[in-house]
Chains A and B, each alone.
Chain A
Amino acid sequence: MSGHSTYEPKTGFERWLDARLPIVRLGYDSFVDYPTPRNLNYWYTFGGILSLCLATQLISGIILAMHYDVGDAFNSVERIMRDVNHGWLIRYMHANGASMFFIAVYIHMFRGLYYGSYKAPREVLWLLGCVIYLLMMATAFMGYVLPWGQMSFHGAVVITNLFGALPIVGESITTWLWGGFAVDDATLNRFFSLHYLLPFMIAGVVILHIWALHVVGQNNPTGVEPKSKADTLPFTPYATVKDGFAMSVFLILFAFFVFYMPNALGHADNYIPANPLVTPAHIVPEWYFLPFYAILRAVPDKLMGVLAMFGAIACLFALPWLDTSKVRSMRYRPTAKMYFFIFVVACCILGLCGAKLPDDPVIPHVKTFLLIDADLNSFVWLSRAATLYYFGFFLVILPILGLKETPLPVPESIASPALSHPAGLPAHATAAPEMKG
């Protein structure tokens, strides 16, 4: 995308290095001169925010691992909280950082969905993103097990048991995952090992993700490819300063959780040491898994529930081929836009349902709303309706809508429509000197 490199080594050392390892050139082409569409809005800053999240998690996690003791997991976490210098800060950063990471990744994914960032030629970019998301879920799940509280332990039991639903091989797989016949010290040990490994795998896939991004170029709110230099601006300083501002605002939210409500996103039961003999009244996963947990519980059959849950993620992988519309941005697809917002609401409803008891009434004090034998005024039925919409959106609405809808006219180029913030000067007049770098 960036095409011919405009990097010119200025010092003798740079020239010497450039002939041997053009790493400065790579950095320059990727993060300084790299052309970005000039109409990117704040929804496009979450990629940068996510890299900040990953760095925060890696650094805080490496420090935590210096003090964590798998053999005395629960107490060692409390030692970090009480006796390690600023241990409370590092641990709360890491625990809340996971939640912040997921807030950012969900916004990033919804943004991609809305602006059609998965469509040709960005399918591989999207798929790599899905792989990162999958690795993030595995990492977060295993990380939640490490404090070895009640919710850690029983969450691990529930999730690993899901594999037991598979016919024939299920039991062998769970035994293999556990390293024994129950969730035990062996399980905790391997989860710690994998929890340390996976973030580096994420970092590796992130590099591929950015590479793919720099080959095909960024999508933008119009969904129209940049056609000339008038459509783009160099990454530095334009995107850098905007991303930097967004990161700083995001950090305020992050800091608010870390310093003022560090346990709000966790569960009280996880401050009780793991006890295999006492099962918590309600086992709930962390909030970022709740929509999938609701899908799992919406299906009465265990195996089908597990398949539905994995299917929900599989839909994301298949998305580039499910959406048949040639128009990228939903800005020009009014019908699709409506279904998209219903989809966002359905995901939130699923999250809510995952946190509630399945049989509790949705509308309180209205005892029953019976249809045949089903109490429709219950969270399990609400989650069934939302699950249906979740799959309906990917498997029915997107494929059919792309063929049937009439999209609005798409602008010729990024610069040609009336931009929302026009400047006094003609765009290319000021862009040109910057391009020389």
Chain B
Amino acid sequence: MMLRKLSILAAVAGLMAAGPVLAAGHPLPPKNVEWSFEGPFGKFDQAQLQRGYKVYREVCSACHSMHLVSFRNLGDKGGPFYNAEYKNPNDNPWVKAIAKDYEVADIDSETGDAIKRPATSADRFTSPYPNEAAARAGNGGALPPDMSLLAKARTGGPDYLYSLLTGYVAPPAGLKVGAGQHYNPYMAGDLTASWSGPHDKVPPGGYIAMAAPLKKDLVSFDDGTPSTIDQQAKDVSAFLMWAAEPKMEERKETGFVVILYLLLFSGLLYASYRKVWKNESH
């Protein structure tokens, strides 16, 4: 009886008019890449992080900042230049050498004048532009996002970054791409407004202000790995995942011990529970 009443109510509610229905544009789902850091025991591949760092240094950092990462982080456990000989990353010669190549703004403690000095391992990565307005002015109005958290700040994480970097294709006929814009099927957006093709066949994806940044042999890898677009994209995505989650290895290692402990402890408690309740009906 109640169900009948409900179905009548539902039908009445159904008769009330609803708003018009629009087909929302969805980007393609990211390609699934196999990462060394996947799964409960996954670790970063240090050689990959070093290659990825090189791609970041030579390509990305021309426009993208990474202001939450310090040079010393490169030498932290799990980081691209970690070396067991240098427990304190500030002593790590690779870290020191990398830092020295950067110049940071400082104040002369004697005169109070604004000066530039070589960076130390304690400094953070410097930003390519002095401020947001300058970054926008240099990139046709678009702001290159900071890369410190990029791999966690996008749905799909490193899979998404890799897909975006390797996903640039020529825009399908019927799609109007404005100046300074590039079509990418993995980019979020809705292309309905600039699509002149059939209404139900709006292409997936959106516009991105960044032109395809990677080219074959753009970066030479010191370990001899062939420098394909695919390899560069994979390596830099892995590096950005490390930059966003530098404590991942420590986290998973701790987690293993914690869960093992809890399993044993639960087993003990269950045995106690059985013993205590043995003679009690319940």
Contact = CB atoms under 8 A, between A and B. Distances in A.
Contacts of A385: 10, 13
B21 interface: yes
Interface of A: 38-40, 75, 78, 81-82, 88-89, 92, 233, 237-238, 241-242, 244-245, 248-249, 251-252, 255-256, 258-260, 262-263, 268-269, 271-272, 281, 300, 339, 357, 359-360, 367-368, 371-376, 378, 380-381, 384-385, 388-389, 392, 396-397, 400-401, 415, 419-425, 427, 430-431
A365 to B, nearest CB: 11
Q: Which 4 A-B pairs have the closest CB atoms?
A: A259-B255, A271-B153, A374-B18, A245-B269
Contact of A245 (B9, B19, B68, B273): B273
B239 to A, nearest CB: 16
A17 B180 CA distance: 80
Contacts of B265: 248
Interface in B182-203: 188, 200
B87 interface: no
Given A75-B68, A381-B14, 11 more contacts: A39-B282, A248-B269, A252-B266, A259-B258, A268-B155, A268-B157, A385-B13, A388-B13, A400-B2, A421-B282, A431-B280
Contacts of A281: 188
Contacts of A397: 2
B24 interface: yes
Interface residues of B, number: 54
Contact of B21 (A82, A233, A359, A388): A359
A268 B152 contact: yes
Contacts of B281: 38, 415, 419, 421-423, 427
B234 to A, nearest CB: 20
A359 B155 contact: no
B114 interface: no
A238 B246 contact: no
Contacts of A252: 259, 262-263, 266
20 contacts: A38-B281, A82-B68, A82-B73, A237-B276, A241-B273, A241-B277, A242-B273, A248-B265, A252-B259, A255-B258, A259-B251, A260-B40, A268-B157, A371-B15, A372-B15, A374-B15, A375-B21, A378-B18, A388-B6, A423-B280
A255 B15 contact: no
B48 interface: no
Contacts of A359: 19, 21-22, 24
Interface in B247-282: 247, 250-252, 254-256, 258-259, 262-263, 265-266, 269-270, 272-273, 276-282
Interface string B152-194: 1111010000000000000000000000000000001000000
Contacts of A389: 6
Interface string B115-154: 0000000000000000000000000000001001100111
Contact of B153 (A249, A272, A373, A422): A272
Contacts of A396: 2, 5
Interface of B: 2, 5-6, 9-10, 13-19, 21-22, 24, 40, 68, 73, 145, 148-149, 152-155, 157, 188, 200, 244, 246-247, 250-252, 254-256, 258-259, 262-263, 265-266, 269-270, 272-273, 276-282
A407 B278 CA distance: 33
Contact of B266 (A248, A384, A430): A248
B18 A249 contact: no
Nearest to A423: B281
A427 B282 CA distance: 9
B22 to A, nearest CB: 6
Contacts, number: 149
B246 A82 contact: yes
Contact of B280 (A375, A420, A427): A427
A241 B276 contact: yes
A358 B256 CA distance: 40
Nearest to A397: B2
B266 A271 contact: no
A223 to B, nearest CB: 16
Nearest to A281: B188
A427 B246 CA distance: 57
B9 A380 contact: no
A116 to B, nearest CB: 19
Contacts of A260: 40, 252, 255
Given A78-B68, A248-B266, A249-B266, A378 B280 contact: no
B279 A430 contact: yes
A225 to B, nearest CB: 17
A312 B273 CA distance: 39
A38 B280 CA distance: 8
B278 A271 contact: no
A303 to B, nearest CB: 17
